[in-house]
Amino acid sequence: MLIAALASGQIQQTVNDPVPDGYADVLRNAGLRVVEVDEAELSGDLHLLYLDAEDALVPRPTCSAAIDRTVIRADGEDAAVLSGLPDPCALLINGMPRDVAGGSIEIRSRRPGTFLIQLQHWPLVDWSVTVEAEA
């Protein structure tokens, strides 16, 4: 089995055996890193793996982010603190991008609602949390 990945190690394609002759070269010529692995040795979800700098297939690290609470008052002052973020990083808050520096952010709202906060920061496993702002 072949695994083709970007320079960052993010897996883009897998090719099951039998691999067509010359196909690994086609992938390399397209700028991908290519490694051969024994399919029997793979377990779990390939989305949770990546190629490290030595071309070893390894688990993606998990995010150390934590939130101190998931319910806040919708008064513009009460806040949930999200910490342990990569510095810098970008979050999606209800689908809208928000740059974060310093590894933490306070979530506040003047209006009641639900806020889906997502972190997609390669090579970390994607992480999300929901915060409710109540009247």
> Both 46 and 75 in a single domain?
no
Task: Express each pLDDT in 70-97 by its tens digit.
Answer: 999 999 999 999 999 999 999 999 999 9
Domain harbouring 106, CATH code: 2.60.40.10
Question: Can you give the pLDDT at residue 39?
Answer: 84
| CA 91 from centroid of its chain's CA atoms | 11
Question: Can you give the pLDDT at residue 18?
Answer: 93
Question: Can you give the pLDDT at residue 27?
Answer: 98
Question: Can you give the pLDDT at residue 104?
Answer: 98
Question: Can you give the pLDDT at residue 45?
Answer: 87
> Both 91 and 54 in a single domain?
no
Residue 58 DSSP SS3: strand
Question: Can you give the pLDDT at residue 90?
Answer: 97
Question: Can you give the pLDDT at residue 34?
Answer: 97
Alpha carbon distance 105, 113 (integer Å)? 18
Q: Is the pLDDT of residue 116 over 90?
A: yes
Question: Can you give the pLDDT at residue 50?
Answer: 95
Task: Provide the pLDDT confidence category of residue 123 given band limits of 50, 70 and 90.
Answer: very high
Question: Can you give the pLDDT at residue 60?
Answer: 96
Cα–Cα distances in angstroms (integers) from residue 5 to residues 10, 35, 65, 75, 84, in the given order: 5, 9, 26, 46, 28
pTM beyond cutoff 0.85: no
> Both 77 and 37 in a single domain?
no
> Both 47 and 75 in a single domain?
no
Question: Can you give the pLDDT at residue 42?
Answer: 81
Question: Can you give the pLDDT at residue 57?
Answer: 92
Tokens (6 digits) for 34: 């290519």
| Residue 26, domain extent | 2-59
* End-to-end alpha carbon distance in the chain: 55
Q: For the chain, what is the domain count?
A: 2
